[in-house]
Amino acid sequence: MYEEWSSRVPGAVVWTRTAQGAGVLYPVLPDGCMDLLWTSGRLLVAGPDTRAHQAGEVPGTSWAGVRFPPGTGPALLGVPAYELRDRRVALADLWPGAETRRLTELLDEAEEPAAALEAVALRRAADADPPDPALRAVVDALDAGHSVAVTARSVGLGARQLHRRSLAAFGYGPKTLARVLRLQRALALARTGMPYSEVALAAGCADQPHLARELRELAGTTLGDYVAAANRETPQPSGSSTTA
């Protein structure tokens, strides 16, 4: 079962997940974000993904996480996003060992580990530099469907500058970020019950076959399989249905 709610860290999301029994697990799909993760005895960081991550947890394993919005994780976690692309690494590899041991013990003993993890993120956010407004504008422009060229001009950056800054902030270049954001738009629309042909156009794909190719390349699944897996772990939005 998966649950999430808005964090007190601006733009972030706090989430919890308990691995269910045998069967196909709900995959973690690319979203442009970085996460601070806790599971019993371990603190980790999830870097930005370019493909589906199948966690393969033992049934009953509990997780808590704080998901930082695109471009904000590196300042809070202290590492460029490209160094963690498609990786899960121990927090002790990034922060001092004594600090991570203390935090791990604190979270293991916490009555609500998700709240304790959010408190860690809040303290880091208070000490970190504020998010770069230009990078926030890049995310907004790409998520609105603007081209990379138009986005670069809108924030006053050349193509090479935008690519270099995107690697550090998002883990990959702006073209990949645009694809990931479009994927997330499609996934959200699909769970409302919108027919998949309409999902493709509304998300910014040329047609349904284009969306299907993007799902295979970025998520390793089909839209129908994603919706079925998501609905097994989280309640389906009321009044929704699926259309193949």
Q: What confidence category does residue 3 fall into, taking pLDDT thresholds of 50, 70 and 90?
A: very high
Phi, psi of 63 (to 5 degrees): -130, 155
**CA 52 – CA 66 distance, rounded (Å):** 19
Predicted local confidence at residue 242, as pLDDT = 35
DSSP letter, residue 145: T
Does the pLDDT of residue 243 top 60, yes or no?
Answer: no
Mean pLDDT of 1-11: 93
State yes or no: pLDDT of 239 exceeds 80: no
Q: Is the pTM of this model over 0.75?
A: yes
**What is the widest separation between alpha-carbon atoms in the chain?**
53
User: What rounded mean pLDDT belongs to the chain?
Assistant: 91
- Residue type at 163 in one-letter notation: H
Higher pLDDT, 36 or 22: 36
pLDDT category at 234 given cuts 50, 70, 90 is confident
* Rounded distance between C-alpha atoms, residue 243 and residue 208, angstroms: 12
According to DSSP, the residues that pair with 2 across neighbouring strands are 17
pLDDT of residue 27: 75
Domain layout of the chain by residue ranges: 2-127, 133-233
- Label residue 24 by pLDDT band (50, 70, 90): very low
Q: Give CA–CA dist 30/45, Å, rounded.
A: 15
CA gap 200, 203 in Å, rounded: 5
pLDDT of residue 2: 86
Percent of the chain residues topping a pLDDT of 90? 82
H-helix segments, the chain = 73-77, 97-109, 113-127, 133-143, 148-154, 159-170, 174-190, 196-203, 208-214, 223-233
Residue 231 — pLDDT band, cuts 50, 70, 90? confident
* Predicted local confidence at residue 235, as pLDDT: 55
**230 confidence band (pLDDT: 50, 70, 90):** confident
Task: Check if the beta carbon of residue 200 is closer than 8 Å to that of residue 210.
Answer: yes
Residue whose tokens read 């799902």: 215
Question: What pLDDT score was predicted for residue 241?
Answer: 36
Over residues 38-69, the pLDDT tens digits come to 999 999 999 999 999 876 666 678 999 999 99
Tens-digit pLDDT profile for residues 93-140: 999 999 999 999 999 999 999 999 999 999 999 999 888 999 999 999
State residue 176's pLDDT score: 97
Residue 58 confidence (pLDDT):
63
Beta bridge partners of 15: 4, 65
Judging by DSSP bridges, how do beta strands 62-68 and 34-39 pair with one another? antiparallel
The mean per-residue pLDDT over the stretch 189-207 comes to 96
- pLDDT score of 237 more than 50: no
Greater pLDDT, 1 or 215: 215
Q: Which residues have C-beta within 8 Å of that of residue 117, sequence separation ≥ 6?
A: 14, 36, 38, 64, 65, 66, 107
Give me the architecture of the 133-233 domain, per CATH.
Orthogonal Bundle (1.10)
Between 231 and 155, residue with greater pLDDT: 155
**Among 140, 115, 121, which Cα is nearest to 10's?**
121
Tokens of 203: 């998300």
- Cα 67 to the center of its chain, rounded Å: 6
Distance, CA of 224 to CA of 228 (rounded, Å):
6
Query: How high is the pLDDT of residue 18?
Result: 86
* Angstrom distance (rounded) from CA 8 to CA 51: 28
**What is d(CA 170, CA 149) in angstroms, rounded to the nearest whole number?**
17
65 Cβ neighbours under 8 A, 6+ residues apart:
14, 15, 16, 17, 35, 36, 37, 38, 46, 114, 117
Q: Which residues pair with 45 in a beta bridge?
A: 36, 89
